[in-house]
Copies of this chain bind each other. A is one copy, B any other.
Amino acid sequence: MTREQLIEQIKSKRSFLCVGLDPDIDKLPEFLLAYEDPIFEFNKRIIEATADLCVAYKPNIAFYECYGIKGWISLQKTLEKIPKHCLSIADAKRGDIGNTADRYARAFFAKESAGMEFDAITVAPYMGEDSITPFLNYKDKWAIVLALTSNKGSYDFQFLTDASNQHLFEQVIQKTNSWGNTSNIMYVVGATRGEAFKAIRHYAPEHFLLVPGVGAQGGSLADVCAYGMTKACGLLVNATRSIIYASRGTDFADKAREEALALQQAMEKELIKAGIIQ
Question: Interface residues of A, CB < 8 Å — how many?
Answer: 57
Write the chain B residue with the least CB distance to A190.
B97
A203 interface residue per 8 A CB criterion: no
Whether A126 touches B151, Cβ cut-off 8 Å, given contacts A72-B68, A107-B68, A114-B68, is: no
Beta-carbon contact of A153 and B128 below 8 Å: yes
Whether A153 touches B127, Cβ cut-off 8 Å, given contacts A68-B113, A68-B114, A161-B163, is: yes
Write the chain B residue with the least CB distance to A122.
B96
A124 interface residue per 8 A CB criterion: yes
Beta-carbon contact of A62 and B103 below 8 Å: yes
Residues of B within 8 A of A149 (CB): 97, 126-127
Shortest distance between the CB of A231 and any CB in chain B (Å): 30
Whether A157 touches B130, Cβ cut-off 8 Å, given contacts A60-B100, A107-B68, A114-B68, is: no
Beta-carbon contact of A62 and B126 below 8 Å: no
Of residues 125 to 179 in A, which have CB atoms within 8 Å of B's CB atoms?
A: 125-132, 146, 149-158, 160-163, 168, 171-172, 175
Chain A residues with a Cβ under 8 A of chain B: 22, 60, 62-63, 65-69, 71-73, 76, 93-98, 100-101, 103-104, 106-107, 113-116, 124-132, 146, 149-158, 160-163, 168, 171-172, 175
